[in-house]
Structure 1
Amino acid sequence: MNEYADLLIIGAGPAGMAAALAAAPSGARIVMLDDNPLPGGQIWRDGPQANVPDQARRLRERLQSCSNIRHHAGTRVIASPGPKQLLVEDDEDGWLISYDKLILCTGARELLLPFPGWTLPGVTGAGGLQALIKAGVPVQGERVVIAGSGPLLLASAATAKKYGAQVQRIAEQASRTAVAGFAAQLPRWPAKWLQSFSLFDRHYRTATHVLAALGTDRLEGVRLQQQGKIVELECDRLACGFGLIPNIQLGQALGYAIEGQALAVDAWQASNRADHYAAGECTGFGGSELALVEGAIAGHAAVGDLEAARQLWPHRARWQGFAKALNQAFALDPQLKSLARFDTLVCRCEDVPYAALAGHTDWREAKLASRCGMGACQGRVCGGAVQHLFGWQPSAPRPPFSPARIETLMCLDDTPPA
């Protein structure tokens, strides 16, 4: 099966949804791909215990009402066999999609930094804990510690408490001064300011970070450095996330330029490649509000409605201000680079410890010598960690970008020669 799209959108989170809706009035044939069952991305994730906001429901209804938008759920990009062509796969089939314009809205993932005990059962990411709870994992009565950096810690704690968990501590690595300075700016964004009151928790501690997860066969406790003192707490779950990093792997493979850790775009959300755009957190973390307006700008620009895109620039600038304040306040303390010991695993898939990486000069050299990043996650976890620890930029992935069936790969035989 082959398919054609005037506009192909990869990712159906806030940015992807907004891009599709902005472009829809043009009458273009729009195809959206996402690996989740329903639009909404990670922030509006569904599940038996998920409480999807009204805003997400309204956007879904609008998407369903547009006859020129086709949404492929549970679908992954496997390869890019030719210019403006992707090989994709869902749970039943694999097929080729050709396109005229492309918008990447691939979002972000948690930065997980290695520390002693981080691979014990019971240790997850902060966002990972939210996802597990929404999927129906029971936490009633469990003692939970949440550590790392950023507002996601408070959101994760609120979700855990809602479903009966006992939150023992929220350990924020940023200083009290930094957090207070950020809080003082929140009235510039009234909705965020009001939300902050609902997320307040008396167990929140600044200048506090995890040192080790304790236990043998599973998590039994956590050791923290809390405002200069060592503290140990018994717990059943430790949720630890050090902010978000953009998902740029597909963009790298397609030849997008990289700026810092994100895909580089101009004022129209256009990349260095003609007819290729990007929006949302793959271009830098800034929250759902920024993702929505960036997606709308990209959608308008991709179908040639530049005036509609331009009118959204002030709105984008407002939320870029929020993103800048957020990222400055919760910048990671350099001492977090020393959490891992020599025997601490950095690459869980291939059992590669910190000691096997410390003597190398770049990602490629370390990968060839240790197999770091060559396991099932293809460097999605350890890649962010080594970038933070050593400053190495992970190389662009090679196809297949995700595990694929042989039948799907055989679709490449249908690709016309270049």
Structure 2
Amino acid sequence: MTTDKLLHIVGSGPAGLAAAQTALDAGARVCLIDDNHAPGGQIWRGGPAQWTDARAQAFWKTLHGHPGFTHMQDAQVIGCVDANTLLLETEGRGVPVGFARLVLCTGARELSLPFPGWTLPGVTGAGGLQALIKGGMPVAGRRVVVAGSGPLLLATALTAVRAGAQVAAVVEHQPLSRLSAFGVKLLSRHRKKFLQAASLFAGLRGVPYVTGAQIVAARGDDMLRSVVVQAGGRQTEYACDFLAAGFGLVPNTDLARALRCDVGDGAVRVDGLLKTSRADIWAAGECTGIGGVDKAVAEGRIAALAALGLRPAARDIPVLRTARAFAALLARTFAPDDALRAMCQPDTIVCRCEDVPAASLLPHRDWREAKLATRVGMGPCQGKTCGPACEFLYGWPQHDVRIPIMPASARTLSQIE
């Protein structure tokens, strides 16, 4: 291995940090690009001072101060100038960055499904509220309801409890029978994950856990005051200051699509060595499919070695196999089902940026036709929120991607040729 090899990595979550450390240990140089000020991504949010995962600390110990490591922080990738040049916005200016080998570790975002009142101040995603609390937002003494589906609900609720919030309820859409079957499979096949789940429940002792339920509406005037939940044919109204509503995660594929990498089933398509459809781009972590930290770390290591022409380490193969099996179990258990479509009423806003209600979208055949007629997906978020919602509600897959893939200043955009 020669030290003149330079590997660019986008994203400094678990996959990105694992890839960076692996590449440095293999003798390459690394340029890690991230839009946050501190490394860690959404899972290891808050930077090294707040990390409790030993893996994160070990990765950063190798990276920090290493002569072969460049960390471009507060650098938002907004697109590409050409096939091998990324365009970044940092410090209010555009910076083109060329690459010969690129690993995409762009993570995922929450799936937000519309329901009456979901645009009220105080309503966030489940992961969104967790990120706000970790970022320092005070919630001590505030009333919180966490609702939707998936393990993230428990993690968010525990974060809120530890920050001093009063969690009125955790509302899980899946029925108790399915959750019980999930727990049995965790115990028999993924014991470590079972113990993690047990620890979450232990930390939430005394908090009502309502299963087989879904949101009817968030209520309030100028801000959230309460949320109505239906379970077993009965409606219950919980007074709250915050409603954290989450229905799973969606891989971030915008940059991959801008670089002309194949995407399928909502994720970046990769081969056994994490190579995309392009010979010079690899992908790892949640952007290749939702699966959690273990999957992200193993894929980050394998992708970095493959990008440098090296074989994967023997230890990562069984870890990745187990992690992907767990990911498949999660997907089967917590996939949004048809009943959640009933939350969205004809007058419910679906596109928050352009105030497009569901009734305006129903006459249209696909995403493109609806965009032309209603401006759905054409606001600042460029369909990152309403696009996946429309795919779930109406079966409209998104195929187009526009540059900039994130909002950017005119000064930065002027550098795109």
* TM-score when normalising by structure 2: 0.94
> What pairs with 1:102-181 in structure 2 (closer than 5 Å)?
102-181=102-181
Counterpart position of 1:256: 261
Question: Which consecutive aligned stretches of 4+ in structure 1 deviate over 4 angstroms post-superposition?
Answer: 47-52
Counterpart position of 2:223: 218
Counterpart position of 1:94: 94
Q: In the alignment, is the contact (CA less than 8 A) between 2:141 and 2:165 conserved in 1?
A: yes
Choose 150-159 or 330-339, whichever is displaced more.
330-339
- Residue deviations 1:311-340 (CA, integer Å, cap 9, x gap): 522220011111111111112221101211
Counterpart position of 2:413: 409
Counterpart position of 1:277: 282
Counterpart position of 1:194: 195
- Residue deviations 1:187-245 (CA, integer Å, cap 9, x gap): 33333222222211341121111110011211111111113321112111111000101
Counterpart position of 1:416: none
> What pairs with 1:2-81 in structure 2 (closer than 5 Å)?
6-46=6-46, 52-81=52-81
Distance 2:223 2:158 in 1: 24
- Residue deviations 1:89-116 (CA, integer Å, cap 9, x gap): 2125422111111111100111010000
Counterpart position of 2:400: 396
Choose 25-34 or 108-117, whichever is displaced more.
25-34
Residue 234 (structure 1) aligned with residue 235 (structure 2): no
- Assess, with a 3 A threshold, how the Cα gap between structure 1 residues 311 and 199 changes in structure 2: closer, same or farther: closer
Amino acid in structure 2 at the alignment position of 1:255: R
| SS, match of residue 101 in structure 2 | strand
- Residue deviations 1:17-65 (CA, integer Å, cap 9, x gap): 1111112233333211111111110011117995553432222121114
Distance 1:5 1:77 in 2: 22
| SS, match of residue 16 in structure 1 | helix
Q: Which sections of structure 1, spanning at least 5 residues, go unmatched?
A: 414-418
Residue 358 (structure 1) aligned with residue 354 (structure 2): no
User: Offset of 1:129 from its aligned partner?
Assistant: 0.7
| SS, match of residue 238 in structure 1 | strand
- Assess, with a 3 A threshold, how the Cα gap between structure 1 residues 325 and 103 changes in structure 2: closer, same or farther: same
Q: In the alignment, is the contact (CA less than 8 A) between 2:35 and 2:77 conserved in 1?
A: no
User: Identity of paired residues, percent?
Assistant: 48
User: Offset of 1:404 from its aligned partner?
Assistant: 2.5
Amino acid in structure 2 at the alignment position of 1:192: K
Choose 133-142 or 294-303, whichever is displaced more.
133-142
Amino acid in structure 2 at the alignment position of 1:198: S
Residues paired across the two proteins, number: 409
- Residue deviations 1:96-146 (CA, integer Å, cap 9, x gap): 111111111100111010000001111111111111111111111111110
Distance 2:52 2:319 in 1: 24
User: Offset of 1:400 from its aligned partner?
Assistant: 1.8
Choose 308-317 or 64-73, whichever is displaced more.
308-317
| SS, match of residue 324 in structure 1 | helix
- Residue deviations 1:336-372 (CA, integer Å, cap 9, x gap): 0121111111111111111111111111111111111
Counterpart position of 2:349: 345
Counterpart position of 1:383: 387
| SS, match of residue 119 in structure 1 | coil
Corresponding residue to 1:287 among 283, 292, 301: 292
Q: In the alignment, is the contact (CA less than 8 A) between 2:79 and 2:255 conserved in 1?
A: no
Choose 278-287 or 393-402, whichever is displaced more.
393-402
Distance 2:255 2:279 in 1: 16
Distance 1:369 1:84 in 2: 35
Distance 2:54 2:22 in 1: 19
Amino acid in structure 2 at the alignment position of 1:45: R
| SS, match of residue 32 in structure 1 | strand
- Assess, with a 3 A threshold, how the Cα gap between structure 1 residues 410 and 24 changes in structure 2: closer, same or farther: same
Counterpart position of 2:324: 320
Q: In the alignment, is the contact (CA less than 8 A) between 1:50 and 1:134 conserved in 2?
A: no
| SS, match of residue 220 in structure 1 | strand
- Assess, with a 3 A threshold, how the Cα gap between structure 1 residues 48 and 370 changes in structure 2: closer, same or farther: farther
Q: In the alignment, is the contact (CA less than 8 A) between 2:155 and 2:200 conserved in 1?
A: yes
| SS, match of residue 78 in structure 1 | strand
Provide the aligned C-alpha RMSD in A. Answer: 1.9
| SS, match of residue 31 in structure 2 | strand
Choose 381-390 or 79-88, whichever is displaced more.
79-88
Distance 1:298 1:326 in 2: 23
